[in-house]
């Protein structure tokens, strides 16, 4: 894995005048030019806008202005976050060419912090997938081995950072869509507490599960990005009415005296090489002064089933608006019903159609209580189990992904095998808790393995303390 400059070091150099924002942008655009055709991390590269923005930042710095903590840092955005006047497609034909009239809150926050946007990244269509093979605009490839997937749904954002196309990026995580690709691409990925980061301007998949978070090369960069994008937003009714947490300041405090939970009844499915790295992580934390405690999460084995009822149910409701009238590209027809059918048939890919149908069925009369209602009860059980576990542990460690990055096409013929990629990440979304993936060595084919750190609601400080120690040990 190549060593690229961190966002923290870039911002320091640009703000101090040691390096110009323009030269930083050119360096990253050059890398994009060299490998983007091979990797396909982006749906759109905003070269002209990035150069113009960098020149403006350099002029402001020359005048003595403080341009923010991300001065000149190149950042990529998942293509389901609204950018005013810049196409936002969700990697779907139904939104191809759509230009939002406003920015997502996180976009405005990054802009105010001095970041430079270099493009919109590819994803599984409407964030539904675990491999970025479901994009209407073609798959993204893992920069570390282009015969393998980068994970999903935020595969483009993970690949952009892993390839050095951007110093940092943003993704969205509904069931593991930041953490799983972070693990497969060997970068840091964070899903904050639900409501800590505004969802305003994020195109919805499943509204009670979606959360925006960063990808980065270092834990320090991830902490900085989370601080910048977090905080209350009156435009999001689910936003927590609290200020952003202080995370960068806790990174050097270590884990002396902390209790690290090991799940005694961890669901089966993880490969031996992944479990070996998890064991090594426990050893490293114990050496650093933490105590390893066993915890039980008996409802965890039902999380996948509950998720694949709740998420499709919410998706079927959220995606009803894409009908060629309210939103989405229209297919012309002689009558309204035919137009609706033809528009959605042409606009949505197979996985999106599958989840819409599954969700509509789960919400239909006669089945609502048997499926959706029961899934919500399981969601409550999972939250209760986590609450009991966190009474004995400050954080919990699990694998992020059950396997390293797998070859293209290995799981596309059987959706269930693809869904099982998220077996360790989904429970956190159901509970609304924070979690992150930290690279911790390699497994089969010398591909990276990620260790997942789970924490209770607003437990980001403890989570980042552990992440910093694991990063040093790795």
Q: Mapped to the 3 state alphabet, what secondary structure does the chain carry?
A: CCCCCCHHHHHHHHHHCCCCHHHHHHHHHHHHHHHHHHHCCEEEECHHHHHHHHHHHHHHHHCCCCCCCCCCCEEEEECCECECCECCCCCCHHHCCCCCCCCCHHHHHHHHCCCEEEEEECCCHHHCCCCCCCCCCCCCCCCCCCCECCCCCCHHHHHHHHCCCCCEEEEEECCCCCHHHHHHHCCEEEECCCCCECCCCECCCCCCCCEEEEEECCHHHHHHHHHHHECCCCCCCCCCCCCCCCCHHHCCCCCCCCEEEEECCCCCCCCHHHHHHHHHHHHHHHHCCCEEEEECCHHHHHHHHHHHHHHHHHHHHHHHHECCCCECCCCCCCCHHHHHHHHHHHHCCHHHHHHHHHHHHHHCCCCCHHHHHHHHHHHHHHHHHHHHHHCCCCEEEEECCCCCCCECCCCCCCHHHHHHHHCCCHHHHHHCCCEEEEEEEECHHHCEEEEEEECCCCCHHHHHHHHHHHHHHC
Residues annotated as catalytic are: 78, 153, 177
Phi, psi for 275 (deg, rounded to 5): -65, -30
Instruction: Tell me how crowded residue 376 is: count the other CB atoms within 10 A of its CB.
Output: 15
Q: Are strands 435-442 and 188-191 parallel, antiparallel or unpaired?
A: antiparallel
| Whole-angstrom distance, CA of residue 361 vs CA of residue 368 | 8
């Amino acid at each position: 894995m190549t060593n690229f400059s961190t966002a923290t070091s870039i911002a320091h150099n640009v703000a101090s005048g040691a390096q110009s924002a323009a030269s930083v942008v050119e360096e990253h655009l050059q890398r994009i030019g060299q490998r983007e055709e091979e990797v396909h991390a982006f749906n759109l590269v905003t070269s002209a806008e990035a150069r113009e923005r960098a020149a403006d930042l350099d002029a402001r710095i020359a005048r003595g202005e403080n341009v923010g903590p991300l001065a000149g840092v190149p950042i990529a955005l998942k293509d389901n976050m609204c950018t005013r006047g810049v196409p936002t497609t969700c990697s779907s034909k139904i939104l191809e060419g759509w230009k939002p009239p406003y920015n997502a809150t996180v976009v405005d926050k990054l802009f105010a912090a001095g970041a430079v946007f270099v493009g919109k990244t590819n994803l599984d269509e409407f964030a539904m997938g675990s491999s970025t093979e479901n994009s209407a605009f073609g798959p993204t490839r893992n920069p570390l081995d282009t015969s393998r997937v980068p994970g999903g749904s935020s595969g483009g954002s993970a690949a952009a950072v892993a390839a050095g196309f951007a110093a940092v990026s943003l993704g969205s995580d509904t069931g593991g869509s930041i953490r799983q690709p972070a693990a497969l691409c060997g970068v840091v990925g964070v899903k904050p507490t639900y409501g800590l980061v505004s969802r305003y301007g994020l195109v919805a998949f499943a509204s009670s599960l979606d959360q925006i978070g960063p990808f980065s090369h270092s834990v320090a960069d991830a902490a900085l990005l989370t601080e910048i994008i977090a905080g209350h937003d009156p435009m999001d009714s689910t936003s927590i009415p609290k200020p952003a947490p202080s995370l960068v300041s806790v990174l050097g405090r270590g884990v002396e005296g902390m209790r690290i939970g090991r799940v005694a009844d961890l669901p089966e499915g993880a490969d031996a090489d992944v479990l070996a790295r998890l064991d090594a992580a426990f050893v490293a934390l114990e050496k650093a002064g933490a105590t390893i405690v066993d915890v039980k999460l008996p409802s965890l084995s039902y999380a996948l089933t509950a998720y694949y009822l709740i998420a499709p149910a919410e998706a079927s409701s959220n995606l009803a608006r894409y009908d060629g009238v309210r939103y989405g590209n229209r297919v012309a027809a002689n009558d309204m019903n035919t137009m609706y059918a033809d528009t959605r048939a042409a606009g949505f890919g197979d996985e999106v159609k599958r989840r819409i149908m599954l969700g509509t069925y789960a919400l239909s009369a006669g089945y609502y209580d048997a499926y959706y209602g029961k899934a919500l009860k399981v969601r409550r059980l999972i939250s209760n189990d986590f609450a009991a576990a966190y009474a004995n542990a400050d954080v919990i460690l699990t694998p992020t992904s059950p396997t390293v990055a797998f070859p293209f096409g290995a799981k596309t013929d059987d959706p269930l095998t693809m869904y099982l990629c998220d077996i360790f990440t989904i429970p956190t979304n159901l509970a609304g808790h924070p979690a992150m993936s930290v690279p911790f060595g390699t497994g089969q084919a010398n591909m990276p393995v990620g260790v997942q750190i789970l924490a209770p609601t607003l437990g980001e400080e403890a989570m980042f303390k552990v992440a910093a120690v694991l990063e040093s040990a790795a």
